[in-house]
Chain A
Amino acid sequence: MLIDFFLHLKARKLPVSTREFLMLLEALRERVSGNSIDDFYFLSRACLVKDESHYDRYDRAFGEYFKGVTEIPGLESELPEEWLRAMAKKLLSPEEKAKLEALGWDKLMEELKKRLEEQKGRHQGGGKWIGTGGTSPFGNSGYHPEGIRIGGESAGNRTAVKVWANREFRNLDDNVELGTRNIKVALRRLRRFAREGAAEELDLDETIRGTARNAGWLDLKMRPERHNKVKVLLFLDIGGSMDDHVRVCEEMFSAAKSEFKHLEHFYFHNCVYDFVWSDNVRRHGERLPLWDVMHRYGNDYKLVLVGDATMSPYEIMHPGGSVEYNNEEPGAVWLRRLLDTYPAAIWLNPEPEASWNYRPSIGMIREIMESRMFPLTLDGLARAMRELNK
């Protein structure tokens, strides 16, 4: 029976090994746990799963195996989030957003509240979740899709069944969450230590060896210190459709900043053209020609572009297509120039990967990037870092 369970886990793409399976059997033989299914769940999880980002996958596989029929457990807890996101977008149309943004934050909040009130009357199910959001003392966080919390943390006596059925570890799945810390871990894959530069550190082993060879006369040997020599150029798309992704980009940026010693960042809007800027507040005053950037930073820099690549195809393909000014050369030309200068380059896209096919501009950028475009999830970041390391 357990062999089938083991194979089932394997089929669900959990990285379980025979050695771990034998460990589980050994633990069962030693009667480490009681006989209840809860105990077995915890024990098998401790034996077989070695990464909390796999907990969710394990919960699903476990549920499937021991319950048989539930095809998509947790579907009901996933729908509202999507639905809420959709609603936040639906309630305030882009024009309204723009209009309200001009009015200021407070007005915006009021407006949204009013809408949610109306919504309460019409939608029974929907009102409940928004209600929870509203009672929070700091509430009103409804505008940003990220801001809405659904349901709330589970309380009460938690049994294992609830754990796997509720899929409490869903947030730890590496396709979903992107906290600053997680990004740091992902970015760290790019770290490359190298010995370079002047001699700085006493090499004890070599000194001893040298001294012994000198029959006891001290022979000091030095070696250069190790340091992180990865250099990164970060280009961030800002404004417009990127506003929905501000938070995830902020996290990504703050993580990158603390992770790389040599990090230069620039902003652009939708697509890169003749110039970029490095301070968004003074974007009109302090522009930096892209040529200067390419000349100043050598081709050992790794290029990371972050943007949703969602724009009109004209902005990429035609001169004068930019929404901001009359550009002489199309964005595609500038993007190719960047890629020619920096062979190691990737594009990170905060839009979900599944939606890429429906946006022509994403397809075009991807083509220019030679499909080096990755979603801004942990898994995507990891793949991107692997690509950069090639």
Chain B
Amino acid sequence: MRFEGSSTYVATADLKLAVNAAITLQRPLLIKGEPGTGKTMLAEEVAAALRLPLLQWHVKSTTKAQQGLYEYDAVSRLRDSQLGDDRVRHIGNYIVKGVLWQAFEAEEPTVILIDEIDKADIEFPNDLLRELDRMEFHVYETRETIRARHRPIVFITSNNEKELPDAFLRRCFFHYIQFPDRETMVRIVDVHFPGLKKELLTEALEVFFGLREVPGLKKKPSTSELIDWLKLLLAEDIPPEVLHSKDKKVVVPPLHGALLKNEQDIHLFERLVFMAQRNR
């Protein structure tokens, strides 16, 4: 099994290498990077490219590691016991399988996405150490041990909101998705909008990278914002000349709300444009 990128996802050489290393050695791959650089999409694309089922586990601040393995639904059992339901006699009826359990007992290898692991409690990664390392866990309630039939391919994304424990990091491959350079960006846009006019793309990228250079922006526009913006430009049928006019006359690019999401940023940007107009 090798991942070579796909028709809908542009992977750089270093990213492909990291993914393939993780697949071959069956270790988790930890992905970090600026928001909007396609961390979550990677798992989806790898699963699609390798034709494997994808199991997603979106982590929230309240998520516990145990929930990925299984949960004992004590409340239903309690209710059933008061109603005199027969199912209540067997505890196995009240065990809800989590993402890892489903992956471990699947007939074929699976791809697991543990999304935004840094959102959870600081103990969360540590609680999963053994499970991800040995790919097995013990169910206390039914006294059985679940072992993976096929070691799943695990992708973990992090937004860097918390530091992950060393012991956890040592067991993973790590890749930092860097913000794409202009050429990669052209390829990415090409994948999303195959028929895009050359001039529009050149002008749009010019504006986009120019905007990323503006000092002091709180949130720089990212790939996903560029894609959204292009979508809008196409929908509104804006000709490339409008974007180009910046040489002769400095203007605010149309629909810039898709690129700048922060009120202060928009304000700063408009002020800069205004100043540039006056200074010429």
A binding-site residues for B, Cβ under 8 Å: 15, 17, 19-20, 23, 26-27, 30, 32-33, 38-39, 42-43, 45-47, 49-52, 55, 105-106, 109-110, 136-141, 144, 146-147, 149, 152-158, 160, 168-169, 172, 180-182, 184-185, 188, 204, 208, 211, 216, 218, 247, 254
- CB closest residue in chain B, given A208: B74
B30 touches A50 (CB 8 A): yes
Which A residues touch B213, using CB under 8 A? 136, 149, 152-153
- CB closest residue in chain A, given B179: A153
Specify the main secondary structure of chain A where it touches its partner.
helix
A137 touches B250 (CB 8 A): yes
Q: Is B231 an interface residue (CB 8 A)?
A: no
Q: Which 4 A-B pairs have the closest CB atoms?
A: A50-B169, A52-B176, A42-B14, A46-B18
Q: Is B91 an interface residue (CB 8 A)?
A: no
Q: Is B163 an interface residue (CB 8 A)?
A: yes
Contact of B162 among A17, A153, A168, A185 (CB under 8 A): A185
Which B residues touch A51, using CB under 8 A? 169, 174
- CB closest residue in chain A, given B250: A137
Contact sample, A vs B, 11 pairs, CB 8 Å cutoff: A23-B173, A43-B21, A50-B166, A106-B279, A137-B276, A138-B272, A140-B275, A141-B215, A155-B182, A185-B163, A211-B78
In this complex, the member of A106, A137, A168, A185 whose beta carbon has the largest number of chain B beta carbons within 10 angstroms is: A137
Known: A50-B169, A146-B215, A155-B181. A137 touches B210 (CB 8 A): yes
Which A residues touch B178, using CB under 8 A? 168-169
- CB closest residue in chain A, given B81: A216
Which B residues touch A136, using CB under 8 A? 210, 213
Q: How far is the CB of A326 from chain B (nearest CB, A)?
A: 38
- CB closest residue in chain B, given A154: B181
- CB closest residue in chain B, given A184: B161
C-beta contact mask, B1-40 vs A, less than 8 Å → 1, else 0?
0000000000001100110110011010110100000000
Interface residues of B toward A: which range?
35 or more
Query: In the complex, A73 Cα to B270 Cα: how many Å?
Result: 39
B78 touches A208 (CB 8 A): yes
A49 touches B75 (CB 8 A): no
A147 touches B215 (CB 8 A): yes
Query: In the complex, A153 Cα to B17 Cα: how many Å?
Result: 24
In the complex, given contacts A105-B275, A208-B74, what are 7 additional A-B residue pairs having Cβ atoms less than 8 angstroms apart?
A19-B171, A32-B20, A106-B278, A138-B269, A141-B215, A152-B213, A204-B75
Known: A136-B213, A185-B161. A46 touches B273 (CB 8 A): no
Query: In the complex, A185 Cα to B163 Cα: how many Å?
Result: 8
A39 touches B17 (CB 8 A): yes
Which A residues touch B164, using CB under 8 A? 50
Which A residues touch B276, using CB under 8 A? 137-140
- CB closest residue in chain A, given B206: A137
Query: In the complex, A89 Cα to B218 Cα: how many Å?
Result: 25
Which A residues touch B30, using CB under 8 A? 50
B162 touches A188 (CB 8 A): yes
B170 touches A144 (CB 8 A): no
Contact of A17 among B21, B170, B210, B215 (CB under 8 A): B170
Known: A32-B20, A136-B213. A47 touches B173 (CB 8 A): yes
Query: In the complex, A185 Cα to B164 Cα: how many Å?
Result: 12
A38 touches B279 (CB 8 A): no
Which B residues touch A137, using CB under 8 A? 210, 246, 250, 273, 276
B25 touches A26 (CB 8 A): yes
Which residues from 72 to 110 on chain B have a C-beta closer than 8 Å to any C-beta of chain A? Answer: 74-75, 78, 81-82
Known: A47-B21, A47-B173. A52 touches B32 (CB 8 A): yes
Which A residues touch B169, using CB under 8 A? 50-51
Q: How far is the CB of A149 from chain B (nearest CB, A)?
A: 6
A180 touches B218 (CB 8 A): yes
Query: In the complex, A105 Cα to B276 Cα: how many Å?
Result: 12
C-beta contact mask, B153-168 vs A, less than 8 Å → 1, else 0?
0000000111110100
Query: In the complex, A83 Cα to B100 Cα: how many Å?
Result: 54
Q: How far is the CB of A163 from chain B (nearest CB, A)?
A: 8
Q: How far is the CB of B264 from chain A (nearest CB, A)?
A: 9
C-beta contact mask, B184-218 vs A, less than 8 Å → 1, else 0?
00000000000000000000000001100111101
Which B residues touch A105, using CB under 8 A? 275
- CB closest residue in chain B, given A136: B213
Which A residues touch B215, using CB under 8 A? 141, 144, 146-147, 149
Which B residues touch A55, using CB under 8 A? 176
Contact of A30 among B24, B174, B246 (CB under 8 A): B24
Q: How far is the CB of B56 from chain A (nearest CB, A)?
A: 23
Q: Is B150 an interface residue (CB 8 A)?
A: no
Q: Is B183 an interface residue (CB 8 A)?
A: yes
Known: A155-B183, A184-B161. A50 touches B170 (CB 8 A): yes
- CB closest residue in chain B, given A32: B21
Known: A140-B275, A204-B74. A30 touches B173 (CB 8 A): no
Contact of A32 among B24, B172, B175 (CB under 8 A): B24
Query: In the complex, A152 Cα to B206 Cα: how many Å?
Result: 13
Which A residues touch B246, using CB under 8 A? 137
- CB closest residue in chain A, given B33: A52
Known: A26-B25, A147-B215, A168-B178. A138 touches B278 (CB 8 A): no
Q: How far is the CB of B188 from chain A (nearest CB, A)?
A: 15
Known: A138-B210, A181-B160, A185-B161. A158 touches B17 (CB 8 A): no
Which A residues touch B163, using CB under 8 A? 185
Which A residues touch B13, using CB under 8 A? 38, 42
Q: How far is the CB of B26 from chain A (nearest CB, A)?
A: 10
Which B residues touch A149, using CB under 8 A? 213, 215
Which B residues touch A146, using CB under 8 A? 215-216
Contact of B17 among A23, A43, A181, A208 (CB under 8 A): A43
Which A residues touch B176, using CB under 8 A? 52, 55, 169, 172
A19 touches B170 (CB 8 A): yes
Q: How far is the CB of A132 from chain B (nearest CB, A)?
A: 10
Which B residues touch A138, using CB under 8 A? 210, 214, 250, 269, 272-273, 275-276
